[in-house]
Amino acid sequence: MSTARFSLRLRVYHEDTDAGGIVYYANYLRFMERARTEWLRTLAAAQRQPTVSEGTMFVVREAHLQYLSPARLDDELEIDAVPTEVRRASLRIAQTVTRVGDSRPLVLGQIRLAVVDRVSARPAPLASWLHETLAPLAVEPR
Amino acid sequence: MSTARFSLRLRVYHEDTDAGGIVYYANYLRFMERARTEWLRTLAAAQRQPTVSEGTMFVVREAHLQYLSPARLDDELEIDAVPTEVRRASLRIAQTVTRVGDSRPLVLGQIRLAVVDRVSARPAPLASWLHETLAPLAVEPR
Amino acid sequence: MSTARFSLRLRVYHEDTDAGGIVYYANYLRFMERARTEWLRTLAAAQRQPTVSEGTMFVVREAHLQYLSPARLDDELEIDAVPTEVRRASLRIAQTVTRVGDSRPLVLGQIRLAVVDRVSARPAPLASWLHETLAPLAVEPR
Amino acid sequence: MSTARFSLRLRVYHEDTDAGGIVYYANYLRFMERARTEWLRTLAAAQRQPTVSEGTMFVVREAHLQYLSPARLDDELEIDAVPTEVRRASLRIAQTVTRVGDSRPLVLGQIRLAVVDRVSARPAPLASWLHETLAPLAVEPR
């Protein structure tokens, strides 16, 4: 498995902005979820696996966002995702929103996800292929 | 049942606007659904009934919006809902978005809703109490 | 200029869905605007032109949506845009949302856009290059 | 000025939920902003003041959300806002999302806001009436 950092590119549309002329602060969580989804889809496809074990799903337990500089209409953004902690039933993921071509990030995110049973909502283990795939990718948290 | 026209008041927040400084065009559909929901809730409560028969739900089949003048950040809006056609398994509803204190509407909507079975998604009849409540309220379409 | 119909592909994420398990009805207007934006960007880039004349902007005057069948989480959608009327200061655009690989559309849209002056909000003419580009692409409305 | 904790009530509509049947995680930031806006509006109205000094605006610098339990369609929620730090040009605000009638919170938020000049985007001082109003309300952070 490559250790290359995954990133998703997306465009800022009118729907994403607000009357301040910048991306509305909640929408970075939408962008970050798109990137996590495509990242897990990519990992799962490479392993010919479903992204979570049958009957389970991911839920977000915690989100921490630092807004350094605003994104604007028509900006092309790059959102990455890298694990900073891989446990039996939960993950911590660091995410960065960057304007394509810039090096300075606009927004930093730390997201904690848990795996739960779809019916009981109780903690469930991460699929073993996913644990094995993610554990070696984990970096130190910022 | 009063024939007084139902209306819901709401405030325009940053989340509703876009970089043009006005309410984003899709968001009037959010506002209109809030008004329809509270209107049906009010009618159902008055009759001590659930809003749709058990096992059924409303789906939107058609929406037509005319944008006459834009709403802006901090505006207080009033959204109404009035039936223009009440059939066995479907409804047409006219909705108007107005700035509180103004008489000229900002946005006009015509929404067609169908009742469907939650499992089969096939057409299902409107609850009879709701048909009886709405039919006499129906006005000529604009 | 090719007459090939423009289309944008996009994925349905959690943000786009609602508790009914399907794409929330207002969100097709978000998808359609993304497609119109990329279409105009593509046309403008091909002509090395800004998408509207300086000091003007597009505003949506009317939107008509027909919901034929719902899109769901993880669907890959294709949204197209084709002019059905090209006038001096306004456009009508037909848009279709289709699941990739399907032929039957899920949602049909007809959108009327006007060009207005950014300051006065009065009607302004379509850039002449855009009028010349779009006029020959216009098809009969559905 | 009363030290009574401000709270805003709102209803969960379809627009707020996702295919998991719960409120989409980004939407709590929308709810929290609505509560902050109404809280500042209430404080400003009581003092016959604009919420920020002319030419300045609030920007969110940091948001930390803990998702304890999900809100669902039709839930009536209560969102509060209380300052935990009041500085010359910035504020920290603790916010709680609770289902009306429940005591256990669903979501906890800590939001850091800065005041900036609208033109230069540089830090600007909090209006003095607002500093004087908020400082005595500040509580220890959770």
Chains touching C, CB cut-off 8 Å, 3+ pairs:
A, B, D
CB A115 within 8 A of CB A58: yes
Strand partners, A54: none
Let me know: does D13 contact B33? Beta carbons within 8 Å. Answer: yes
Identify the residue with better confidence: C49 or D100.
D100
Coil, helix or strand for C41? helix
CB A14 within 8 A of CB A96: no
Q: Which of B106-120, C40-54, D76-90 has the lowest mean pLDDT?
A: C40-54
Calculate mean pLDDT across residues C46-69.
Answer: 91
CB < 8 Å to A38, chain C: 11
pLDDT for A89: 95
Closest chain B residue to the Cα of C63, Cα to Cα: B65
pLDDT of residue B141: 86
- Position B54 scores a pLDDT of 80
List, as ranges, residues 20-59 from B with C-beta within 8 Å of D. 30, 33-34, 37-38
pLDDT class of D51 with cuts at 50, 70, 90: confident
Closest Cα in chain C, distance from residue A12 (Å): 9
- Give CA–CA dist A8/A37, Å, rounded: 10
Tens digit of each residue's pLDDT (9 = 90 or more) over B81-138? 999 999 999 999 999 999 999 999 999 999 999 999 988 989 999 999 999 999 999 9
Higher pLDDT, D48 or A52: D48
Give residue D4's pLDDT band: very low, low, confident or very high (50, 70, 90).
low
Q: Percentage of chain C with pLDDT > 70?
A: 97
pTM recorded for the entire structure = 0.95
**Average pLDDT of span B54-66:** 94
Which residues on neighbouring strands pair with residue A91, listed in sequence order?
A: A86, A113
Confidence of residue C52 (pLDDT cuts 50, 70, 90): confident
d(CA C125, CA C87): 9
Q: Is pLDDT at D83 greater than 90 in this prediction? A: yes
Mean per-residue pLDDT for C34-46? 94
* Yes or no, beta carbons of C72 and D21 under 8 Å apart: no
- pLDDT(A90) > 50: yes
Exposed/middle/buried for residue A88 (C-beta within 10 Å: 0-12, 13-18, 19+): exposed
Alpha carbons D63 and D78: distance in angstroms, whole number: 19
When pLDDT is averaged across residues C82-91 and rounded to a whole number, the result is 96
Question: Are C72 and D19 inside 8 Å of each other by CB?
Answer: yes
Predicted pLDDT at A4? 62
Q: Which residues of B touch D45 (CB under 8 A)?
A: none
Contacts of residue B31, Cβ cutoff 8 Å, sequence gap at least 6? B10, B77, B79, B97
Verify whether the Cβ–Cβ distance D65 to A63 is below 8 Å: yes
Report, as an integer, the average pLDDT of D58-86. 97
Chain segment B1-51, per-residue pLDDT in tens: 444 679 999 999 999 999 999 999 999 999 999 999 999 999 999 989 887
CB atoms within 10 A of CB B114: 20
Task: Report the pLDDT value the prediction gives residue A1, as an integer from 0 to 100.
Answer: 41
Query: Sorting pLDDT into bands at 50, 70 and 90, what band is D31?
Result: very high
Report the alpha-carbon distance of residue C105 to residue A12 in Å, rounded: 26
Task: Please state the rounded mean pLDDT for residues C44-48.
Answer: 90
Region A117-127 average pLDDT: 92
Please give the pLDDT value at position B44.
92
Average pLDDT rounded to a whole number, residues C33-62: 91
What is each CA distance from B74 to A19, B18, B23, D33, D34, in whole angstroms? 11, 13, 10, 13, 11
pLDDT (tens digit per residue) in D110-141: 999 999 998 898 999 999 999 999 999 999 88
B61 chain-C contacts, CB cut-off 8 A: 66-67
Residue C9 in contact with partner chain A when CB distance is under 8 A: no
How far is Cα B95 from Cα B77, in angstroms, rounded to an integer? 12
* β-strand pairing of C6-11 with D105-117: unpaired
pLDDT at position B1 is 41
Which strand ranges, in their side-by-side order, compose the sheet holding D105-117?
Answer: A6-11, A76-86, A90-99, A107-117, A56-67, D56-67, D105-117, D90-99, D76-86, D6-11
Which chain C residues have a beta carbon less than 8 Å from that of D72?
A: 19
What pLDDT, on a 0 to 100 scale, did the predictor assign at position B53?
A: 78
Burial class (CB in 10 A: 0-12, 13-18, 19+), A63: buried
Mean of the pLDDT values across residues B52-57?
84
Per-residue pLDDT at A94: 97
Assess whether pLDDT exceeds 70 at residue D2: no
Instruction: Please provide the average confidence, as pLDDT, over all residues in chain D.
Output: 93
Mutate to test the interface with B, among C34, C52, C56, C60 (most CBs of B within 10 A): C60
Catalytic residue, candidates B16, B18, B75, B80: B18
To test the contact with chain C by mutation, choose from D11, D16, D22, D24 the residue with the greatest count of C C-beta atoms within 10 A, namely D24
Q: Which one of D61, D63, D67 has the shortest CB-CB distance to A60? A: D67
Q: What is the pLDDT of residue B32?
A: 98
User: With bands split at pLDDT 50, 70 and 90, how would you rate the model's confidence at D1?
Assistant: very low
Looking at beta carbons, which pairs linking B86-93 to residues 24 or more positions away fall under 8 Å?
B86/B126, B86/B131, B86/B134, B86/B135, B86/B138, B87/B126, B88/B125, B88/B126, B88/B131, B89/B114, B89/B115, B89/B123, B89/B124, B89/B125, B89/B126, B90/B61, B90/B114, B90/B115, B90/B123, B90/B126, B91/B126, B91/B134, B92/B141, B93/B36
Residue B126 to residue B116: CA distance in whole angstroms: 9
Longest dimension (CA), chain A: 46
Which pLDDT band, with edges at 50, 70 and 90, does C1 fall under? very low
Q: Shortest Cα distance from C14 to chain D (angstroms)?
A: 6
> Inter-chain contact C20–B60, Cβ cutoff 8 Å?
no
Give contacts of A37 with chain C, Cβ < 8 Å. Answer: 11, 13-14
Q: What's the mean pLDDT in A68-81?
A: 97
Q: What is the mean pLDDT of chain A?
A: 93
Average pLDDT, chain C: 93
Please state the rounded mean pLDDT for residues A109-127: 94
How many CB pairs below 8 Å do chains A and D form together? 50
> Per-residue pLDDT for B142 more than 90?
no
User: Across the interface, do A15 and C33 touch by the CB < 8 Å criterion?
Assistant: yes
Closest to C29 measured CA to CA, from C91, C142, C92, C111: C111
Stretch 69-88 of chain B: residues touching chain A, C-beta under 8 Å: 72-73
Q: Hey, is A46 helix, strand or coil?
A: helix
Beta-sheet pairing, B105-117 with B90-99: antiparallel
Section C84-100 average pLDDT: 97
Q: What does the pLDDT average to over A69-94?
A: 97
DSSP state of A123: B
Our CA-based measurement puts residue D13 at a distance from the nearest CA of chain B, in whole angstroms, of 7
How does pLDDT run across D63-72, given as a tens digit for each residue? 999 999 999 9
Percentages helix, strand, coil for chain B, rounded to the nearest 5? Answer: 25, 40, 35
In this prediction, residue B12 carries a pLDDT of 98
Q: Which residue has the higher pLDDT, D24 or C51?
A: D24
Q: What's the CATH number of domain C6-137, 1.10.260.40, 3.30.70.20, 3.10.129.10, 3.50.50.60?
A: 3.10.129.10
Spell out a b/e string for B11-20, using b for 16 or more CB atoms within 10 Å of the CB, else e: ebbbbbbbbb
Q: What is the mean pLDDT of residues D79-86?
A: 97
Average pLDDT over residues B75-83: 97
Shortest distance between the Cα of D17 and any Cα of chain C, in A, equals 5
Pairing relation of β-strands C76-86 and C6-11? antiparallel
Among the residue ranges A23-37, C127-141, D2-16, the one predicted with the least confidence is D2-16
Residue C51 has pLDDT above 90, yes or no: no
> What chains are in contact with A, requiring at least 3 Cβ pairs below 8 Å?
B, C, D
Pick from C15, C28, C67 the residue to mutate for testing the B interface (most B CBs within 10 Å).
C67
